[in-house]
Structure 1
Amino acid sequence: MDDCIVSLIATPWGFWSLAYVVSRLLCPRRSKDFCNRLVSMLHVALSLLLCGISVRDWSHPLDGIGGPSTFPQMLALTVSLAYFIYDSICCLVELPFKLEDQIHHAITIMGLAYGYLLGSCGTELVACLMLMELSNPFMHARELLKELNLKDTSYSFLNDVCFALVFTFARMIVGPFVVFFTVQADGSPAVKVGAVGIQLVSILWFWRIARMVLYKLKKRNLKPKSS
């Protein structure tokens, strides 16, 4: 059983590692962080696709909360768990160490691994994963645009606005409903605590993102207009 679990995680982990190697070969002049974020963008697309497929009924997306995980939900959890293991190792080996990123990775890996091993609570875990990934393309795009020397352009400003709007919708509007139903359901206490914890962290990030957008707006308004 243990060998089977290791094999199931190792296969998609190898895929993400290979994707990073390919990105380095295709973009030899770009930084390691740039290439890793390209892999992260790929994960966002695949993760959202798998999470979307795993929803049994979009008119009642939280049906089955607290219950056994379905095969599509387990697949979504496995692929993302392998990605976060890869990303954690990549950030340690290839990129400058950032304590905040490693803590975030550790918490995410523990949550996904717990749900994977438990074989239940797939509905709420997939919902949480989907909400987390919705705003990530814009977050990664911020760093990609910086390396492409497009930091102070209209593209960067529009991306930051979209990042703030999508994050607010996913984490501050939809997120609390998911947390409420997760806490109310007859699911794992650990998953409930994790859901509350993620929501609290989201509130902190929301404050930081709001400050960033306000700063960008102020900077944009003060920028002298060309004659």
Structure 2
Amino acid sequence: MEEQIARVVVLGVISWTTGFLLVRRMFPKRSFDFCNRLVSTVHAAVAVTLASLSVKDWNCPMCPLASTSSPPQMKALAASLSYLIYDLVCCLFDKKFNPDNFFHHLVSIVGIGAGLSYQKCGSEMVAALWITELSSPFLHIRELLKELGYRDTDLNLAADILFAVIFTVARMVGGPYLTYVTLSANNPFIIKAMAAGLQLVSAFWFYKIARMVKYKLTKRTMTTTASSKQVDPQTHETHTN
């Protein structure tokens, strides 16, 4: 099993890198970040799909707890581990180095690597993968729209709100429950530490996302109010449409 998982990781890194290079060739005028986000969007879809397929019983998707990881769970985690390694390297080549993203990936690599090494906690880790990647496509779509010229449009605002809603439900409803069951079960310390750390990071991002949505909604309201009023150039009186 170890050799098979290692092959999945190596082939995954090669595949994600090849995919990125192909996207760069297809869109030579787009930024490094734009092309990388396209690959990241594909990974999010693949990760959620593989995580969903690895669930044994949807009546209790996180069962059994603290158990030996199944082959589908190991492969789902290995596929995401390969992506995280690829994206960690991409962070070093991007013009704008994001330390938060870099260290988040680094910690995630350690956590998933530990889970694959122990070959335990498959249910909890796959659930964490599903929860964290569920909102990722919408995170990337909102940034892709900005580069495509849709910044400050209704479409971009809709993407922002959709991302915020899915993130909130997944990370701030499902996340705390997953953290609780992970800490309660007989899991290795590093897995428990990763679960607690992930929830703390999610709470911090939730705060930032809430502020972002509040700012954008306030800005949109002010813009709409201002555009609905017109000033008569002769009388200097304000007329509302």
TM-score using structure 1 length: 0.96
- Aligned-partner residue type, residue 172 of structure 1: M
Q: 1:214 aligns to what?
A: 214
Deviation at 1:107, TM superposition (A): 0.7
- Flag the structure with larger Rg: 2
Mark the CA change 1:137 to 1:4 in structure 2 (over 3 Å): closer, same or farther.
Answer: closer
Comparing 187-196 with 33-42, greater Cα deviation is found at 187-196
Q: Distance in 2 between matches of 1:90 and 1:212?
A: 26
**Given that residues 5 and 78 in structure 2 are in contact (C-alpha distance below 8 angstroms), is that contact kept between their aligned partners in structure 1?**
no
- Aligned-partner residue type, residue 227 of structure 2: K
Q: 2:36 aligns to what?
A: 36
Could you list the structure 1 runs, at least 4 aligned residues long, displaced by more than 4 angstroms after superposition. 1-6
Mark the CA change 1:70 to 1:3 in structure 2 (over 3 Å): closer, same or farther.
Answer: closer
Q: 2:227 aligns to what?
A: 225
Percentage of matched positions with identical amino acids: 43
Q: Distance in 2 between matches of 1:29 and 1:23?
A: 11
**Given that residues 8 and 75 in structure 2 are in contact (C-alpha distance below 8 angstroms), is that contact kept between their aligned partners in structure 1?**
no
Provide the aligned length of Structure 1 versus Structure 2. Answer: 227
- 2:199 aligned with 1:196, yes or no? no
**Given that residues 69 and 122 in structure 2 are in contact (C-alpha distance below 8 angstroms), is that contact kept between their aligned partners in structure 1?**
yes
Q: 2:84 aligns to what?
A: 84
TM-score using structure 2 length: 0.90
Deviations 1:12-57 (A, max 9, x none): 1101001101101111111111000000000011101000000100
Structure 2 unaligned regions, length at least 5: 229-240
- Aligned-partner residue type, residue 160 of structure 1: D
- Aligned-partner residue type, residue 120 of structure 2: S
1:29-68 equivalence runs, <5 A = 29-68=29-68
Q: Distance in 2 between matches of 1:8 and 1:162?
A: 33
Deviation at 1:7, TM superposition (A): 3.3
Q: Distance in 1 between matches of 2:172 and 2:166?
A: 10
Comparing 88-97 with 76-85, greater Cα deviation is found at 88-97
Q: 1:8 aligns to what?
A: 8
Structure 1 unaligned regions, length at least 5: none
Mark the CA change 1:30 to 1:182 in structure 2 (over 3 Å): closer, same or farther.
Answer: same
Q: Distance in 2 between matches of 1:225 and 1:219?
A: 12
Deviation at 1:143, TM superposition (A): 1.2
